[in-house]
Amino acid sequence: MGSGRLYAAVAAGGFRRYATYRAATVAGVFTNTVFGVILVSTYMALWDQRPQLGGYDQAQAVTYVWLGQCLYATLAIQGGGAEKDLMQRIRTGEIAVDLYRPADLQLWWLAGDLGRALFQVLGRGVVPFLFGALFFPMALPTAVTPWAAFAVTLLLAAVVSFALRYLAALSVFWLLDGAGVNQVLVITGIFFSGMVLPLNAFPGLLGEVVRVLPWAAQIQMPADVLMGETDPLRAFAFQAGWAVALLAAGRLLQSAATRRVVVQGG
C-alpha cells in the first residue's frame, strides 16, 4: 500500500471509530445546542450594552458562538482527540508497537485525528450550527467563495489543533502520566482559543498577545474568514505558519523522546 493510501485508510478508520459512538454523538449535539443557546443569550445581552465589541456587531457575535459550538469537539478544544490515546499508549508502553510500524508516527496520528475531526464536524457540529442559523440572526455569507475559504481554514485549524495536542502528548515520555497535561490542555484550550469570548474582544496588550498565539488559528481565524473580517490569504498564512512550526517542533521532540525509549513494565 502506498503511503498516501495508508494514511487515507488511517483517517477513514478514525472516522469510522467515532461514528460508532452514536449515543455519545447525539448527547454531544444536544449539549452543544443547549450551551449555544445559553452563550447566545449572554452574548446578546453583552452586545446590547457594548455594541461593536471586538469589531463585531450582534449578528456576528451570535455567529461566532454557534461556530464555536460547531468546532468545540471538531478541534478537541479541551482535548480528547488523538492525544488521549497516544498518552495512554506511551504510559503503558504500547507505543513500542507504534514505533515498529512501517509508517511515520506523527503522520499516522495526524491522519487518525483528521478522520476524527471530519466525523465530529459532520456528526456533532453541523446540527447546532444549523439550529443557530434557523432561530437566531447570524452573519453568514451568500457567495460560494467565503465558504470555500472557510473550509480551508477548518482544515488548517484541525492541523494546528493536532500539532498542539501532539506536543502535549509527547511530554508523557518524560512525565509518565498525562493527567496534569490534560488539565493544561483544558485551560489553554478554553481561554486562548476564544471559546468564552472572541479574541478580538480581549483588551490592550493581552488582546495583542492572544491573537498571535497558535490557538487563534482554531476558532478566531475561521470565524473572521467566514464573516469577511480578515483577508483569507492572511488567515491561511497565519494558520499554515503555526502548523509548520508546531509540526516541526513535534518532530524534534519525537526524535528526542524516541532516541532512548524506556518501555514501562519491561
User: How far is 176 from 65, CA to CA, in rounded Å?
Assistant: 37
Q: What is the pLDDT of residue 262?
A: 56
Q: CA-CA distance, 168 to 184, in Å (whole number)?
A: 9
Q: Of 154, 162, 155, which Cα lies nearest the Cα of 223?
A: 154
178-194 pLDDT, tens per residue?
888 889 888 999 999 98
What is the rounded CA–CA span in Å between residue 74 and residue 215? 14
* pLDDT attached to residue 266: 45
Report pLDDT for 92: 87
Ranges under pLDDT 70 in the chain: 1-2, 260-266
What integer pLDDT is reported at residue 250 of this predicted model? 95
The secondary structure of residue 143, as a DSSP letter, is S
What CA–CA distance (Å, rounded) separates 119 from 47? 33
DSSP assignment of 76-106, as one string? TTTS-SHHHHHHHHHHHTTHHHHHHSSS-HH
Reported pTM: 0.93
Q: In the structure grid, which three cell numbers stand for residue 196, read together?
A: 468564552
Closest CA to 227 of 64, 88, 78: 64
Angle in degrees, CA 234, 238, 63, rounded to 5: 75
CA distance 139 to 29: 22
C-alpha cell at 5: 493510501
Task: Count how many Cα atoms sit within 13 Å of the Cα of residue 24 in the half-sphere of its side chain.
Answer: 8
Of the candidates 90, 78, 83, the one whose C-alpha atom is nearest the C-alpha of residue 175 is 90
Residue showing cell 512501517: 102
Distance of CA 127 to the CA centre of its chain: 18
CB 19 within 8 A of CB 118: no
Place of cell 461593536: 52
